Amino acid sequence: MTGAKFLSKEKLLDWLAELGQTRRVFMPVEEGGKIVFRPCTNGDTPALVRDASASPKGVVFPSSAELFRYTKTKARGGKSSMELKPGTEFEPALIFGTRPCGARGFTIFDRVYTGGKFNDPYYRAARENTLIVTLACEGPENTCFCNWVGSGPDDPTGSDVLATPVEGGFVLESVSERGEALLESPLLQPAEARTAEADSVKSRARAELPPARDISAAPQSIRALFDNQKFWDEVSSKCLSCGACTYLCPTCYCFTITDEDHGDSGKRLRSWDNCMSYQFSLEASGHNPRPTKAHRLRNRVGHKFSYYPQLHEGLLACCGCGRCIRSCPVSMDIREIVLDAIDRVQAKNCEVVHE
């Protein structure tokens, strides 16, 4: 692997412009008082501050994407035919400035859309053509709990290059072979003694995280409470079912399909869906297997901490970023729900033993 390189702050925009010659570069920018990821344009300056609203999910898995267009024609005899034209091909891209939790989120998608019997060609094309330069965190927010789920402020999982902020710039370390090629730019210098400073930044950030809580019993505990409606009514009592948690989450991947029909032509769209919405599981008959917000919250928490790990070798479908906590309008905390589930099941088991 190529040795670590140093990128000065003065050359950051030049480096991004260089990378932009062969692929679209997405970076966090301030827009409307929030941090969002969008293509880099002349004059843009990356907003490298911590902000819970910024997730790169939409670069690879857009909030709305055209899958294909169709044109219908009628032939003699009343027979109809339909011509399909695939949607726009995904351009090679690079994501710069996501945090480790954002990059790790893509690995949750990978197992669903490219890791099994069925592969999603749209997601696969985007994922294979996107490079990720991740920015290590210099310290945690009070909503961060990445260490609970086996991650950390300098976790390289899902990244191609890990960038650590140091005095005057960044120390860049390749994580993959594709990332190694990014460090061959003449704008970069050997990191030399700066690697020690980078190691210190990473160690300090890990030390500042509160000790991780043991949630290894979460999958079994949440399954044990599946039919305990009282528990789910209690923990969901203040939820508004607004869905902010799902849209901001780097690991939520549910979608819906809609057709925009214009008579003889139209297009098929795939758009993010929200499992906290009443319509998410509403059937055409009018029946809804998840009729209340308690049922829907049970599904959301259960999927991340029980159903997904059951299917994927124990891996939790949560990166511990805390976006759902920080941006919730009523301050719901998914950590409290998981710990409450574990405590209740353990307490019940203790009662059974003592009996």
Is the CA virtual torsion 159, 161, 163, 164 positive or negative?
positive
User: In the prediction, which pLDDT does 319 show?
Assistant: 97
Within 8 A by CB and 6+ apart from 316, the residues are 149, 150, 215, 218, 304, 305, 308, 309
CA distance 330 to 338: 18
Within 8 A by CB and 6+ apart from 38, the residues are 26, 27, 29, 31
Do 300 and 276 form a contact (C-beta atoms < 8 A)? yes
For residue range 31-52, list pLDDT tens digits in order: 888 888 999 887 788 988 876 5
User: In the prediction, which pLDDT does 311 show?
Assistant: 94
For residue range 269-308, list pLDDT tens digits in order: 999 999 999 999 999 999 999 999 999 999 999 999 999 9
Do 25 and 40 form a contact (C-beta atoms < 8 A)? yes
For residue range 216-246, list pLDDT tens digits in order: 999 999 999 999 999 999 999 999 999 999 9
Within 8 A by CB and 6+ apart from 46, the residues are 12, 16, 27, 28, 29, 40, 96, 97
Q: Taking the chain, what is the end-to-end CA distance rounded to the nearest angstrom?
A: 60
Give me the residues of the chain with pLDDT under 50, please.
1, 353-355
User: In the prediction, which pLDDT does 330 show?
Assistant: 96
CA distance 90 to 310: 32
Do 163 and 342 form a contact (C-beta atoms < 8 A)? no
User: In the prediction, which pLDDT does 115 show?
Assistant: 84
User: In the prediction, which pLDDT does 355 show?
Assistant: 47
